[in-house]
Amino acid sequence: MDITLFSPYTGTIHPITEAPDPVFAEKMLGDGFFVTPSVGEAMAPADGEVTYVAPTKHGIRITTADGLKLTLHVGTESGELKGEGFTVFVSEGAKVRKGDKLLTFSPELLRQNPKTTDACILLIEEMDDGQEVRLTASGEVSALAPVAEIG
């Protein structure tokens, strides 16, 4: 059975294999996609529980009721900013609904810093063998639009 994935971000969608960081591009941590953002906010792509918030505010993991682990990672090397330009609206243990605002960030700050990129990633961790993320959208996407499937 396929699972539909919704974008947490608004911007231009790309396959994870094109991510500017090889850890993501080579799927070392899981499969997914990334968005070059045109809006500096991340929305909950599904109902679930917040099971991790990065101390540097650039990453959040949501675990859904069926155990799917969705990691939102805003920017690459963005932990270097130590939280500057990020505002988080949830904490670990919080129950979220699809569409809840999780965090805001400054795409401009990510683009201006020589160590970071603005690639906003949705990573699916611990998928079953043989499963992969297939994009069903291309180009510009809006937050909460269906953009991919796990199958």
Q: Could you list the active site residues?
A: 73
Q: Which of 54, 71, 58 is nearest to 104 (CA)?
A: 58
For residues 57 and 4, give the distance between their C-alpha atoms in angstroms, rounded to a whole number.
26
3-state secondary structure 6-55: ECCCCEEEEEHHHCCCHHHHCCCCCEEEEEEECCCEEECCCCEEEEEECC
What would the two tokens of residue 31 be? 């499969």
Query: What element of type H or E holds 108?
Result: helix 107-112
Helix (H, G, I), strand (E, B) or coil at 17: helix
